[in-house]
Structures are given as structure tokens and as C-alpha cells.
A and B are shown apart, each in its own frame.
Chain A
Amino acid sequence: EPEVTQTPSHQVTQMGQEVILRCVPISNHLYFYWYRQILGQKVEFLVSFYNNEISEKSEIFDDQFSVERPDGSNFTLKIRSTKLEDSAMYFCASSDPGQGRFNYGYTFGSGTRLTVV
């Protein structure tokens, strides 16, 4: 079964540093997403991406964050000047509008655990 792959599985960074979280969505999917889950809290929407541009973003997704699809397979989330409160699980997801996004929902990756120290 096709999977969304995320790397690394765990990233530790010092406060103030920049991190890049990487994702390989399912190959024929066209919509890509980042969500995050702070420990003990809800999974929260960050941003959606389609046709090489941001479709929607939440209020969490401020100027500290950026996304990019640098090539035909990768989808990245960059967090600049990380803060302690950025520590969370970050999930990438993709969906295929050809099969109906509502019908099949998303496929999520296993996540990257980001720890800011």
C-alpha cells in the first residue's frame, strides 16, 4: 500500500536554529498538507499546498514557517528560528482529488518528532 514517508523520525534542535522537515507524498497525489500535534493536544492544521502554491494556512502558520516542493517528489516544511513551543509531532499528508478528497480522506505519514531545546 502506498505510504507517505517522513524524515527524520526525530529531530532535536537548539532554540533559534532552523529546521527542515521532509516528506515524500504518495506519487500520484496532488494535494499536500502539514499538521502538527503538540503532546497531549489536538492534531492541528498548518497548511495545504496545491499546484506549487499554498492553498490554505492556519493562524499558526506565520512567517516563521514555509513550505516548498523542491522537486517532483519531496515536500518540505521549514521552521526558522525555532522556539521551545515548536516542539511537537509534525505530520505530512497527501490526498488524491482524482478519487475524491472527501471520499478517501488523507494519507498521513508517521510524523517527525521535533524537540527544541
Chain B
Amino acid sequence: QKEVEQDPGPLSVPEGAIVSLNCTYSNSAFQYFMWYRQYSRKGPELLMYTYSSGNKEDGRFTAQVDKSSKYISLFIRDSQPSDSATYLCAIVTGANNLFFGTGTRLTVIP
């Protein structure tokens, strides 16, 4: 399935850095875009969602959707070691099912 493509990384940054995680998607009909965080041996945990285009901010996290380029981004400011996890983008289909990207493994080094 090629609905969502995500760079798998891994990505390693120093503590305090700004992290940019990105995905592209194929179908312009998609309206809802999600970011999940997954720790080792755990299920995905919803971080943020956005509807259509634009930005959404929640604390140190900002989700951005550019529908013209079919591009989804998650920015993490002032990254912390506790942010070390795999980050999954996902789109919601019309049937309310999720198509996930492969996930990007992030390590924040103290």
C-alpha cells in the first residue's frame, strides 16, 4: 500500500533541538491526518490530529498539513529524551480506518 509514505529514519538529535518529521500521501480526498507515538512494545498513542490544511499546536508539538503538496509534518520544539520513540503518521479513510506510514524512529540524546 502506498497511501502514506514516511521516511523511516532513524533520526538522532541532541536534547533541545527542533525535530521535523514528514510524510506524504497519495489521495487528495483524505481529510483527517493523525500523528501517533509508539514506544517500544506498546501500541500507538494518539498525539495530534488535523483536519484539512493548516497548523495545529499543542505544547511543544505542531502538526502541519499542506494539501496542495500532500505533505504532513510534525514539529517538536525543545526535544526531550522522553520524546524518544517511533512517530507514525496516519490518514483516516472514508471508512474511518487508518493507513499508517512506516514510522520514524527518533532518539533524543541528553
Given A102-B49, A106-B98, are A42 and B103 neighbors across the interface (CB < 8 Å)?
yes
> Nearest chain B CB to A53's CB is how many angstroms away?
14
Number of A-B residue pairs at CB separation under 8 A:
58
Give chain B residues whose Cβ lies under 8 Å from the Cβ of A44. 1, 100
Chain B 37-48 interface mask (CB, 8 Å, partner A; 1/0): 000011111100
The answer, among B42, B49, B100, for a CB contact under 8 Å with A43, is B100
CA distance A111 to B97 in the complex (A): 18
B44:A48 contact, CB within 8 angstroms? no
Contacts of A91-117 to chain B: CB distance below 8 A: 91, 93, 95, 101-111, 113
* B32 lies within 8 A of chain A by Cβ: yes
Is A68 interfacial (CB 8 A cutoff)? no
Chain A residues in 8 Å Cβ range of B49 = 102-103, 105
Flag the segment in B11-19, B58-66, B69-77, B88-96 that touches A.
B88-96
> Which of chain A's residues have a CB closer than 8 A to the CB of B45?
108
Chain B count of residues within 8 A CB distance of the other chain: 24
Q: Is the CB of A56 within 8 A of B46?
A: no
Known: A41-B102, A43-B100. A108 touches B41 (CB 8 A): no
B95 A56 Cβ-Cβ under 8 A? yes
User: Nearest Cβ distance between residue A56 and chain B, in whole angstroms?
Assistant: 5
Would you list 10 pairs from A and B whose C-beta atoms are within 8 A, ordered by A residue?
Answer: A31-B96, A41-B102, A42-B103, A43-B44, A43-B88, A95-B96, A102-B32, A105-B46, A109-B43, A110-B41
Known: A35-B98, A91-B44. 18 other contacts (CB 8 A): A33-B97, A41-B102, A42-B1, A42-B103, A43-B44, A43-B88, A44-B100, A45-B97, A45-B99, A48-B95, A48-B97, A95-B96, A103-B49, A105-B36, A105-B49, A106-B46, A108-B44, A113-B41
Binding site for B on A (CB under 8 A): 4, 31, 33, 35, 41-45, 48, 55-56, 58, 91, 93, 95, 101-111, 113
